């Protein structure tokens, strides 16, 4: 899959004039808060034992009441997939705000940079904004092209958002966006016919706001080549190795996810209040 803007500018931060006349300019804050304690603890624990790590087929259990055994941590499953979990407290945030954000931020790379000013470089949609679409309908079924740093390495990926039902979630339980939402997406490698894995962000209402429970399944059986029949099957064996991040890269992703979601929570309520009617 080729990028819709191959000549895009790839630079960290905001250059002079980039935020001129942007109604969200005041939300640009290049300072990132220290990593939250439970994420630091997960890094200190190191990789977790394979039997503790759920498979993608268990993702719908995020809708069950209570917590899972692994809410923060990473490791390699017996099937070769790397699993990653991060929980983020989001005071004063609602699940509906998160749905709005996922549809809104991809319209301009400057919006995307608000999310993680020390790592996000560029993002854009592969198609035009659906007229009149709101909430989950504004991003589900679309592909976001993303350039971002995970640790010190620039990653160029595609994020194909899918309906939660595609991963087995009961969408009837998500009918009230004030109470819960689930963001589901297939992660691909830009410029290659390779699907690398899946991400799931479950957001549920809690006293005082919401919490996001992020999950990633990367490589292993989730690394596949988009090609038919025998050719695709053979090539996918190679893709599983290419698409599988190292444990060091998993640590960097855990840090990145915790940072970006915590930073988002710091400004999303006010941003939403001021601009949720802005296309």
pLDDT along the chain (279 residues), means of 10: 92 96 97 97 97 98 96 96 97 98 97 98 96 94 98 97 98 94 96 93 98 97 71 46 78 98 98 93
Per-residue confidence (pLDDT) for residue 224, from 0 to 100: 87
Give the separation between CA 131 and CA 138, rounded to whole angstroms: 9
Helices (H) and strands (E) in the chain, counts: 5, 9
Per-residue confidence (pLDDT) for residue 227, from 0 to 100: 54
Per-residue confidence (pLDDT) for residue 32, from 0 to 100: 95
Hey, which CATH number is domain 36-46+72-275, 1.20.1050.10, 3.30.530.20, 1.10.3720.10, 2.40.50.140? 3.30.530.20
Give the separation between CA 211 and CA 66, rounded to whole angstroms: 12
User: What six digits make up the tokens of 126?
Assistant: 């592969």
Q: Tell me the per-residue pLDDT of 121-151, one tens digit each, with 9 for 90 and over.
A: 999 999 999 999 999 999 999 999 999 999 9
198: number of Cβ within 10 Å? 21
157: number of Cβ within 10 Å? 17
Per-residue confidence (pLDDT) for residue 1, from 0 to 100: 76
Dihedral, 122, 188, 167, 109 alpha carbons, nearest 10: 10
What is the helix (H) or strand (E) element at residue 101, kind and residue range?
helix 95-104
Q: Where are the domains of the chain?
A: 36-46+72-275
Per-residue confidence (pLDDT) for residue 237, from 0 to 100: 53
Per-residue confidence (pLDDT) for residue 244, from 0 to 100: 72
User: What six digits make up the tokens of 145?
Assistant: 């092209």
98: number of Cβ within 10 Å? 25
Cα four-point dihedral sign 172, 175, 178, 184? positive
């Amino acid at each position: 899959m080729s990028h819709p803007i191959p000549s895009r500018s790839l630079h960290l931060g905001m250059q002079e004039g980039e935020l001129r006349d942007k109604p969200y300019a005041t939300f640009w804050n290049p300072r990132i808060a220290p990593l939250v304690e439970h994420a630091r603890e997960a890094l200190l624990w190191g990789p977790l034992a394979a039997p503790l790590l759920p498979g993608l087929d268990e993702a719908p259990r995020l809708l069950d009441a209570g917590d899972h055994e692994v809410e923060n941590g990473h490791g390699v499953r017996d099937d070769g997939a790397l699993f990653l979990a991060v929980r983020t407290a989001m005071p004063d945030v609602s699940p509906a705000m998160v749905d709005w954000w996922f549809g809104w931020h991809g319209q301009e790379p400057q919006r995307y940079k608000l999310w993680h000013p020390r790592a996000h470089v560029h993002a854009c949609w592969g198609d035009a904004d659906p007229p009149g679409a709101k909430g989950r309908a504004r991003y589900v079924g679309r592909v976001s092209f993303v350039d971002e740093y995970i640790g010190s390495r620039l990653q160029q990926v595609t994020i194909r958002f899918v309906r939660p039902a595609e991963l087995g979630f009961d969408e009837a339980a998500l009918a009230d966006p004030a109470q819960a939402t689930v963001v589901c997406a297939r992660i691909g490698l830009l410029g290659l016919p390779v699907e690398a894995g899946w991400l799931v962000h479950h957001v549920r209402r809690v006293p005082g706001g919401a919490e996001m429970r992020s999950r990633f399944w990367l490589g292993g059986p989730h690394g596949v080549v988009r090609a038919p029949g025998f050719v695709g099957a053979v090539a996918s064996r190679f893709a599983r190795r290419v698409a599988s991040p190292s444990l060091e890269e998993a640590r960097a992703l855990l840090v990145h996810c915790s940072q970006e979601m915590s930073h988002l929570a710091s400004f999303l309520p006010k941003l939403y209040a001021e601009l949720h009617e802005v296309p």
